[in-house]
Structure 1
């Protein structure tokens, strides 16, 4: 029987793989991160500015397009919390995102997003079932921090 700490470490690793896949543009890793339809029915992905994506094929197609069209993206995760109940885990965090949206050197945009990632434990390990990210609106007094 695995300890709670070991389970949380495995969930944290699966969550890290999700962000690594985006940062490195690795669609094969992204494909391994997401559960198969028979492991977690009704896969869903929600990102700021996107329509809701349902189903593995639609989600993979969208991530392929994102990875092919963003020259640089980096995530710094803060306020990360992991909860586990049986074969379901929830990771909540703040994504502090840096992106370059065109090929001009030095162009970087930043933003903060709050996220909930749900994972299901499968024979292959912890796999993503749902990703839901919402933008955080910065107040004027937050911008100077």
Structure 2
């Protein structure tokens, strides 16, 4: 296994640890994966629909709020791509998210809702391993009927003969 492949696998494992911590509402595990030290104040997150949050403390607070108000969440990651350059790594992926409300009175699962978010996660190499520096999630708003030509390729797009 080449060093690049080993590094990419280590980054992918750190990325998965991040999602596992959120899924299990394990704030201690999340704190362990989020960057500390001199760059702690530059840690940032953009949750879908939220403004940019900066600083390790504010980022962890946001996750604590999400964990406290989310009964169930599960991530199925697809399209995972990892790039490593020195002490910085970039992960892009699609978060196929399944969330649920409180359990029904009979103990059965509450209603489940699915959604798609594209995410960019930036990791920084530390003596303790790869740590999350930036997470940016953006909801996928396009439906299945969107043209294969990409965003903005519908009627009225530049060069569209139907203009």
- TM-score, normalized by the shorter chain, greater than 0.5: yes
Deviation per CA, 1:67-114, whole angstroms, max 9, x where unpaired?
A: 111110000000000001000000000000000133433400110000
1:128, 1:5 → 2: CA distance? 19
- The answer to whether the 8 Å contact 1:37/1:55 transfers is no
Q: Which runs of 5+ in 1 are unaligned?
A: none
TM-score when normalising by structure 1: 0.91
The aligned residue for residue 91 of structure 1 is 91
- Which one is further off, 61-70 or 109-118? 61-70
The aligned residue for residue 49 of structure 1 is 49
> Which of 130, 135, 141 is matched with 1:137 structurally?
141
Q: Which has the larger radius of gyration?
A: 2
Name the count of aligned residue pairs.
141
1:118 aligns to 2:118 (yes or no): no
The Cα shift of 1:38 comes to 1.0
The Cα shift of 1:6 comes to 0.8
Deviation per CA, 1:10-40, whole angstroms, max 9, x where unpaired?
A: 1001000000000000000000110014145
Q: Which runs of 5+ in 2 are unaligned?
A: 147-163
| Structure 1 segment 71-86 matched on structure 2, within 5 A | 71-86=71-86
- The answer to whether the 8 Å contact 2:40/2:56 transfers is no
1:29, 1:50 → 2: CA distance? 23
- Which one is further off, 99-108 or 68-77? 99-108
- The answer to whether the 8 Å contact 1:11/1:89 transfers is yes
